[in-house]
Amino acid sequence: MSKWMVVNKKGDFEGIAKRNNISPMLARIFVNKGISEDEEIRDFLDCDLSKLKDPHLMKDMDKARDILSKHIDDKKNILIIGDYDIDGVCSSYILKRGLFRLGNHALVRLPHRIADGYGMNMKMVDEAYDKGVDIILTCDNGIAAYDEIEYANSKGIKVIVTDHHEVPFSLTDTGEKLYRLPNALAVVDPKQEDCPYPFDGICGGVVAFKLIQCLYEKYGIDREELYDLLPYAAFATVGDIMELKDENRVIVSRGLDRMRSCRDFGLNALIDACRVDRKKLSPYHLGYVLGPCINATGRLDSPDRALELLLSKDHKEATLIASELRTFNDDRKSMQALFTEKAIRLIDEDESYSKDTVLVLYLPDCHESLAGLIAGKLREKYSKPSFVLTDGESCVKGSGRSIEAYDMFSEMNKCKELFLKFGGHKMAAGLSLEKENVSKFREKINAFSSLKEEDLVNVYNADMQLHFKGANLAFAKELERLEPYGNGNSKPLFCEKGIRVVDTRILGNNNNTLKLTLVPEEGINDPSLRREAMIFGEADRLEAELKDREDIKILFELSINSYMGKESPQLTIKDYKLF
């Protein structure tokens, strides 16, 4: 079930267009995005590196820099503790490469998803002690490692935390949040309530990038060397699904530029293994093609192999590792499809799930690393916050994916007594609990839910109704100025009614793509108004439903199709309604 809304924000579209040399239609899209000031529009279009925020504004950043620089100068042993996902791997790589440039051969310890769990643990502290580590530097984790950091302190190991996750808190009887910070020498996390950094929506990789920026400045390293790390900050930003707004947009835009001409063996080998055209590299490829290969090794095996790829200085070695990572990802996709189908079948066959506004699925045989991916698929299909739980080595583990109307982390705090461990943010979370609490969790999380039926409808916000005369090649090219697209900067959506389907054709190795030829009813005999369109999904069913239909209403994105040197406007249909 879906609902379409046409955004109807008011603005001086003609004036904005004239002052910024854009079309009134693009001006309307900017206003819809909440961007109406000329300077904001210019910043959005330019994506200049000068727009990056001052890293020194981040709480404890200079303190962390000074502590690390003393350890570098004194030849002390530094251990980087990262995470097993793309943000953790890229963060670790950025810190490792940056510290190496400054003369420190820092060690890196990435957690094994199953053997170690998320982030820093006591075993890692013991390992650090045995190796004579003087200071632990966390990245993409650590803000919740209160007990682990106290343990490190007790063994004489200093700790600096760099993270971007929410600061853990407890709720008082009056609903006040009591935050709990770890007892580290420095805690660099823009999510801290008293951190003056003006944008807290950055990932762990960007926090790491900012720390290396401050160190490079202190040691007089050329700014261009810092920008060599931008592709990895961009990779982490997209991979961790950060919103592509503010400085994230600059980092991803300029990071992609540098990635297209990057000479690093590992990154290039991965691009080649995935058969991605460098010239067309986009956030889509980072998030859905390259990124899953980095994540797959951390899901099904150890994330160390992904870090080895990025660190590789040998073309042959990098090519071999990249091929392995792609194979891991192929295996992951097969397993994910199998258990997603099983989860959907369970939901559809058990009527009690239709009454739940929050889905909690227990799939004991599913690999625990797939839980979040499957939860995301369930959220998409049912438009409900979804948790998928699986059997871990000693307890039940799970991941959740949310919808805009539901703050998952805050809601989980209401039943935190059921968890052995949990963490996350509004849109995603992870947890562990005893098996006997699985049904209690489903019951309680739904009892606390205040979601209404209207919250569970998939709502599409179209930027405007767009006649096929306006859905032309010139406008499609102008829309490219809004790239890179991603979370927080979605592709513009358009709608139109009175459309006729004059031809259909099923494409794709798995018959999962339907190509349509569309024309508006009043332009049935006008070839200039014919538009090619693509729709993805169950092509057989879609063709049976759409073939030769008249007077349909479509919701679509507009892009450019390049074929045999010829360019033409192409529609990607996101939803449709029949009359």
pLDDT in tens, 58-84: 999 999 999 999 999 999 999 999 999
Token duo for residue 367: 């690999």
Give the position of tokens 């625990």.
Answer: 368
Domain boundary among 260, 282, 306: 260
pLDDT score recorded for residue 57: 98
Band the pLDDT of 454: cuts 50, 70, 90: confident
In a domain, 256, yes or no: yes
Q: Of 398, 421, 456, which residue is a domain's last?
A: 456
Q: What is the mean pLDDT of residues 383-405?
A: 93
Q: Output Rg (C-alpha) for the chain, integer angstroms.
A: 25
Q: What is the pLDDT of residue 470?
A: 95
Looking at the fold, whether 361 and 322 belong to one and the same domain comes out as no
The secondary element (H helix, E strand) that includes residue 87 is: helix 86-101
CA distance 407 to 405: 7
Q: Please write the tens of the pLDDT for every residue from 551-571.
A: 899 999 999 998 878 899 999
For the chain, give the percent of residues with pLDDT over 70. 100
In our burial notation (b when 16+ CB lie closer than 10 A, e otherwise), range 224-248 reads: eebbbbbbbbbbbbbbbbbebbbbb
User: What is the distance between the alpha carbons of residues 481 and 567, in angstroms, rounded to a whole number?
Assistant: 17
- Beta bridge partner(s), residue 158: 135
Question: Crossing angle of helices 304-311/86-101, nearest 10°?
Answer: 40
For residues 293 and 229, membership in a common domain is answered with no
- Spatial CB neighbours of 159, under 8 Å, sequence gap ≥ 6: 135, 136, 137, 138, 142, 149, 152, 153, 182, 184, 185
User: What is the arithmetic mean of pLDDT over 226-250?
Assistant: 95
The pLDDT of residue 520 is above 90: yes
Instruction: Give yes or no: residues 287 and 362 share one domain.
Output: no
Domain total of the chain = 4
Distances (CA, A) of 163 to 60, 118, 270, 407, 569: 12, 13, 26, 20, 43
In a domain, 341, yes or no: no
pLDDT at 190 over 80: yes
Q: Are residues 94 and 23 in the same domain?
A: no
- 541 vs 229 pLDDT, higher one: 229
Q: What is the pLDDT of residue 160?
A: 98
Residue 510 has pLDDT above 80, yes or no: no
Q: Based on the domain organization, do 386 and 483 belong to the same domain?
A: no
How confident is residue 511, by pLDDT bands cut at 50, 70 and 90? confident
At 310 the pLDDT is 97
Q: What is the pLDDT of residue 251?
A: 97
At 497, is the pLDDT very low, low, confident or very high (cuts 50, 70, 90)? very high
**Non-local CB neighbours of 24 within 8 Å, separated by 6+ positions:** 13, 14, 16, 17
Question: Does the pLDDT of residue 526 top 80, yes or no?
Answer: yes
Given a cut of 80, whether residue 203 has pLDDT beyond it is: yes
User: Looking at residue 113, what is its pLDDT?
Assistant: 82
| Tens digits of residue pLDDT in 83-131 | 999 999 999 999 999 999 999 999 999 999 888 878 899 999 999 999 9
Same domain, 367 and 309: no
Domain identity same for 468 and 570: yes
338 domain-assigned:
no
Q: Report the candidate in 467, 554, 562 with the shortest Cα–Cα distance to residue 514.
A: 554
Eight-class DSSP state of 220: T
Decide if 433 is inside a domain. Answer: yes
Could you tell me the strand order of the sheet in which 428-433 lies?
A: 359-362, 386-391, 396-401, 428-433, 419-424
Q: Which amino acid is at 205?
A: G
Say whether both 424 and 550 belong to one domain.
Answer: no
State the CATH number of the domain containing residue 186.
3.90.1640.30
Residue 530 lies in a domain: yes
The domain that contains 367 carries what CATH number?
3.10.310.30
| Cα distance between the two ends of the chain | 15
Range of the domain at 272: 263-328
Residue 509 confidence (pLDDT) above 80: no
pLDDT of residue 458: 84
| Average pLDDT in the chain | 94
Closest CA to 552 of 528, 575, 529: 575
Residue 395 lies in a domain: yes
Question: Among 456, 491, 506, where does a domain finish?
Answer: 456
> Does 15 share its domain with 156?
no
Q: Which residues contact 45 (CB under 8 A, 6 or more apart)?
A: 20, 481
Least Cα distance to 353 among 382, 311, 310, 391 occurs for: 382
pLDDT at 537: 82
Residue 1: is its pLDDT beyond 80? no
Query: Does one domain contain both 39 and 115?
Result: no
pLDDT greater than 80 at residue 489: yes
Any domain includes 437: yes
SS3 67: helix
C-alpha distances (whole Å) from 391 to each of 150, 307, 381, 395, 417 are 30, 27, 24, 6, 19
Lowest mean pLDDT among 14-23, 206-215, 388-397: 388-397
224 with 282, same domain?
no
In this structure, is residue 50 part of a structural domain?
A: no
User: pLDDT category, 145, cuts 50, 70, 90?
Assistant: very high
The answer to whether residues 510 and 555 belong to one domain is yes
**Neighbour-count burial for 544-567, b at 16+ CB within 10 Å, e otherwise:** eebeebeebbbbbbbbeeeeeeee
